Amino acid sequence: MGIKKVRRILFSKVPLALIIVLVRLIWFVAFFSKFARYSAWTHGALSVLAVVMYLFIISSDENPSYQIGWITVIAVMPLMGGVLYLLLGNSRPARPMKRGMERVFADIAPLLKNDDPPRPPPRLQGLSAYIDGMSSYPLYRNTRVDYYPTGEELFEAMMGDLEKARTSVYLEYFIVADGVMYRRLAGVLMEKARRGLDVRFLYDELGSIAVLPDDFHRELEEAGVLVTAFNPLHPLATLKMNHRDHRKLLIVDGRVGYTGGINIADEYINQIRRYGHWKDTGVRLEGEAVWSMTLMFLSVWRYYRRDDREPARPERIPDAEGFVQPYSDTPLDGEALAKNIYMDILWRAKEYVTIFNPYLVLDREMIKALTMAARKGVDVKIVVPAQNDARLVALLAESHYKTLIDGGVKVYRYEPGFIHAKSFLSDDEVAVVGTVNMDFRSLYLHYECGVLFTSPGAIRALKDDCLRTLEKSRPVARADVEKGILVDFFQAVLRVFGPLL
């Protein structure tokens, strides 16, 4: 890390936020120490507090795994745990943010209405209606889907469309880091903005804060690019940063749209090697379904910046085969939309389901769906990284492997390095590619997106990629994850607190 980067971090909001958190913790410890002098009263008061918090958590509609994690925290340290739960425990966004985003989406939702909805194939009928009913994002035809098996190929396609942009460019990314990828992208964005195009860049501040390019805002905005941070870090609300924008979206001229696993950072296109070969994937949409991606972006952008301009509508691609349904999952409604899409694919599978996902922090519902599909005779395969960027999360994921393997699920490690892709493919019929990890944060706390599709060409390309990737992956045997009683104990502890990580 260069001197400029270190200086920028030292004088950013991060140190101030950490200092405020430390002061709060010292205050809590001092208060508790003083309170503890009255031991009998302290014990009674904390017992009452713990019982009240238990009842409150149990009566909430949170996921049971999440409830158990917080109940354990409060049982271990009643006072501190109770305070932390009040600050961090609610999986819903803060009320002002929730109300503001709901107001914005209330204006956008009517634009999503499809007066002539296509009739979905039997495999999608219930699932498509569920997605439309819960998120308002409808099913489309007349949309071409192209699948890209690596971040490098996806990025080159993105750059090709950016070079041809004529009216607008919208970007929404979780991580923006300086490097080859960002510099190529920024050069085109600034050129387009100087020519008068409507160029907007939405990024997650917490996801990018330690790696953001120097002079990021100044450089882009001087060229005419509009830049906005999602849920900016405020020192006085440092413990309210639970909800992040984990989406990855690029929309060009309202005509083509991209999503998938890649962020704007060099490891995603293997310009640098952090954990061996970094495998990511994505899709390009062209046609009617891009309208949903455009409005998905605006549903967040307009919460932060007032904008009444009419967005460009995409053209139909009448010869495109298959059905396409982009969707957005947010913590605003308390509905685990992305998780339910994954589970529906597993429930309806007849022959096989192949999954790419880097983080398996699974609850009992997801484990049951995976193992139940396998026990019905479905060939369920999950490809996970051999090298992981989060060691504790990898160890937690391994704690599920025994149960999965015993239930008939086949787990594979991607031997060349790290697989960051997030995809489901089933029966040569239906697939999902998007940003959603199989962990609690993605499924319940983050703003996410994905694309459900049946497009035959993209399905074949994804299947070919699955077969090639499986050839490079090693099956995990039960003996591989039997590491002794101490590791088992540590993993048991991680599983209790996994939903809180």
Tokens 């996921």 found at: 63
Bridging pattern class, strands 430-434 and 448-453:
antiparallel
pLDDT less than 70: residues of the chain: 1-92, 234-241, 489-501
Topology of domain 337-500 in CATH is: Endonuclease; Chain A (3.30.870)
With CA atoms as reference, report the closest residue to 432 among 204, 123, 118, 91: 123
With CA atoms as reference, report the closest residue to 142 among 120, 118, 165: 118
With CA atoms as reference, report the closest residue to 314 among 396, 253, 238, 232: 253
With CA atoms as reference, report the closest residue to 248 among 130, 9, 422: 422
Its pTM surpasses 0.85: yes
Tell me, what's the pLDDT at 3? 46
Residues 194/219, Cβ–Cβ less than 8 Å: no
33 burial (CB, 10 Å; 0-12 / 13-18 / 19+) is exposed
Helix (H, G, I), strand (E, B) or coil at 289: coil
Tell me, what's the pLDDT at 357? 96
**Residue 478 DSSP code:** G
Task: Give span(s): CATH 3.30.870.10, the chain.
Answer: 95-125+138-320, 337-500
Query: DSSP E strands: which ranges in 118-191?
Result: 143-148, 168-173
**Residue 38 DSSP code:** S
Residues 327/137, Cβ–Cβ less than 8 Å: yes
Task: Give dist(CA 64, CA 72) in Å, integer.
Answer: 12
Q: How crowded is residue 86: how many other Cβ atoms within 10 Å of its Cβ?
A: 12
Segment 286-306, tens digit of pLDDT: 999 999 999 999 999 999 998
Tell me, what's the pLDDT at 486? 78
**Residue 89 DSSP code:** I
Inter-helix orientation angle 151-163/180-194, to 10°: 10
Topology of domain 95-125+138-320 in CATH is: Endonuclease; Chain A (3.30.870)
Q: Mean pLDDT across the chain, nearest whole number?
A: 86
Segment 204-220, tens digit of pLDDT: 988 888 899 888 999 99
Task: Give dist(CA 461, CA 123) in Å, integer.
Answer: 20
